[in-house]
A and B are shown apart, each in its own frame.
Chain A
Amino acid sequence: MSDLTRKTAAELAELMTSGQASSVEITQAHLDRIGAVDGDVHAFLHVDTEGALAQAKAVDGKRAAGEQLSPLAGVPLALKDVLTQEGVPTTAGSKILEGWKPPYDSTVVKRLKAAGIVILGKTNMDEFAMGSSTENSAYGTTHNPWDLGRIPGGSGGGSSAAISAYEAPLAIGTDTGGSIRQPGAFTGTVGVKPTYGGTSRYGLIALASSLDTPGPCARTTLDAALLHEAIAGYDPMDSTSINQPVPAVVEAARNGDVSGLRIGVVKELGGEGYQPGVEARFHEAVELLTKLGAEVVEVSCPHFEYALPAYYLILPSEASSNLAKFDAMRYGLRVGDDGTNSAETVTSLTREAGFGAEVKRRIILGTHALSSGYYDAYYGQAQKVRTLIARDFAKAYEQVDVLVSPATPTTAFAIGDRIDDPIAMYKNDLCTIPSNLAGNAAASFPCGLADEDGLPVGFHVMAPVMRDDLLYKVGAALESALAEQWGGVLMTKAPELEVTR
């Protein structure tokens, strides 16, 4: 048997259906791979060896008994540490939750388990998903498998690095401002942010409730679509869940026909500040889609320029409120409870010790933006800008079916480069943030390597609300055309990691 960790999720499912491999064998192969390379990559915060093998064995048993199984049954997956899984440590990358074992499963986890998908462990992330590099994790930085001296993106850098390092064929991320798509771009993998409300937030440790969206990460478009279908759909436990059928994402990923599709290139997402190699690969991909029959036009979204400032008012405002629950009373860290300190003092001491620098920055910024006297100028005005951004999208979608841009202005940067320059760090998410503010579906697909550094570039597609299928249509068309040029998907160009025993 050739190396099971190099297979796609769809291929692994086929091997199990045809009886050529068991889920236990496949799971063990990935656990071995984690053991061999994760010392260097540090994608995982917790590996649940026993739990994963038990899940795999259960799936194999059901298959042997002739039970009807879902398409991804027995395929292993890496789970971002921001989603609760009963009895498995969940930290959200923060010291304040060190050692916490949730007493319940998030809806995403419930659906993964129901689909027979094997959860290998929890992946590293920026603390409470605040960051674009995983350098804000309280448990150390994840390294980009393409170049271990570089960051893998963030906040979901652990999930994207895990699939890029062949430690798992699938992963779950969450996207509040680009935390699935930007790491996808930086690691040469696929990252999809579904329509807001298309996937459930129940059991997702909230960063900004009006923006947070769980979604799939994979090495191919079809794998991402299969995972999307497994986790998406209405959930009565989430008050903002959309009660409509899941868009036909798998069908779109299998079909990938863009002839006649109207594609708009967003004029404002390019030019100054964008790396030449990123722009070159992006424009080549647009040309390729034109050759495949898409109709490409330039589209202007004039308010996208203000998406970043509006986001950095809305997000910290919601975060400062959401993170108030970490008060040292019901779960997590408690510091200074010496019998003399008041509850309020204990809360303040605990939050000082348990939160990292970026979390403190954003809580204080949010507290400021929401304070009386500043509310209208900051939070109120940001909400109005949010309306204008949504209107830019609505107007664009009168002309075109999808919008496209580079996923990020640059490729992956060196570890340490931007950690003490919050604004340079925030600018990573220039292209991804508008879709979070408007709630539409968006994804990053690999479109080549930048000439100047040989690192992956992401092609960003933005589709209207509940038209997630269009993302996969474009992604599949691009992927098969590029694979023909390259003789395989982009990931086959990734350097081999050193294996330790």
Chain B
Amino acid sequence: MPSITREEVAHLARLARIELSDDELDHLAPQLDQIITLVGQVSQVAADDIPPTSHALPLTNVMRADENVPCLTPEQALSGAPAAEEQRFRVPRILEED
């Protein structure tokens, strides 16, 4: 039995907002199955009492002084936008039609 099915891959792609073609799914699903078998090796390590490491170095919250600093102009911020209108990013509709 595969560690991940074609249907599961299709579901994950939808969650990740990637529209996949049937050909891509045929290609990706068996590869992901192999990769998941490889990464599944981590379960062989006895680590129940081991604390997780999310980061190599000890992390502390970092704050900066609450002072005004220069930032991008609206023109700069919008310079890479696929579409802009009235100094704003223009986006496709975000609500479903009735």
Contacts and interface: CB of A to CB of B under 8 A. Distances in A.
Interface stretch (A20-28, A100-108, A276-284): A100-108
Interface of B: 4, 8-9, 12-21, 24, 27-28, 31-32, 34-36, 38-45, 47, 50-57, 59, 62, 64, 72, 76-77, 79-83, 89, 91-96
A324 to B, nearest CB: 8
Given A236-B64, A309-B38, A360-B13, 13 more contacts: A101-B80, A210-B56, A303-B45, A342-B95, A352-B21, A361-B32, A365-B35, A383-B53, A384-B47, A387-B47, A387-B53, A422-B35, A423-B34
Contact of B39 (A196, A197, A312): A312
Interface string A388-428: 10100000000000000000000000000000001100100
> What interface size band does chain A fall in?
35 or more
B20 to A, nearest CB: 7
A71 interface: no
A330 B28 contact: no
A387 B19 contact: no
Interface in A161-194: none
A378 B91 contact: no
Contact of B35 (A306, A361, A380): A361
16 contacts: A103-B72, A197-B56, A239-B62, A240-B59, A306-B45, A330-B80, A334-B82, A342-B94, A344-B17, A351-B17, A351-B19, A371-B12, A381-B45, A386-B52, A390-B56, A465-B56
A438 B56 contact: yes
A202 B18 CA distance: 27
Interface in A314-342: 320, 324, 327-334, 337, 339, 341-342
A367 B35 contact: no
Nearest to A97: B80
Identify the interface centre among B47, B83, B94: most chain A CB within 10 Å of its CB: B47
A388 B19 contact: no
B82 A387 contact: no
Decide if the interface of chain A is mainly helix, strand, loop or mixed.
Answer: helix
B24 A332 contact: no
Interface in A187-218: 196-197, 210
A367 B42 contact: no
A343 B62 contact: no
A388 B45 contact: yes
A306 B44 contact: yes
A383 B52 CA distance: 5
A315 to B, nearest CB: 10
Contact of B72 (A104, A196, A332): A104
Contacts of B80: 100-103, 330-332
A324 B15 CA distance: 11
B31 A422 contact: yes
By Cβ-Cβ distance, the 8 closest A-B pairs, closest first, are A439-B56, A331-B80, A383-B52, A334-B82, A103-B76, A384-B47, A352-B19, A386-B53
Contact of A347 (B17, B28, B96): B17
A433 B79 CA distance: 37
B72 to A, nearest CB: 6
A337 B82 contact: yes
Given A342-B92, A349-B19, A377-B43, A368 B54 contact: no
Given A364-B9, A383-B52, A383-B54, A103 B77 contact: yes
A225 interface: no
Given A331-B80, A343-B92, A355-B18, A360 B24 contact: yes
A423 B95 CA distance: 41
A357 B21 CA distance: 12
A112 interface: no
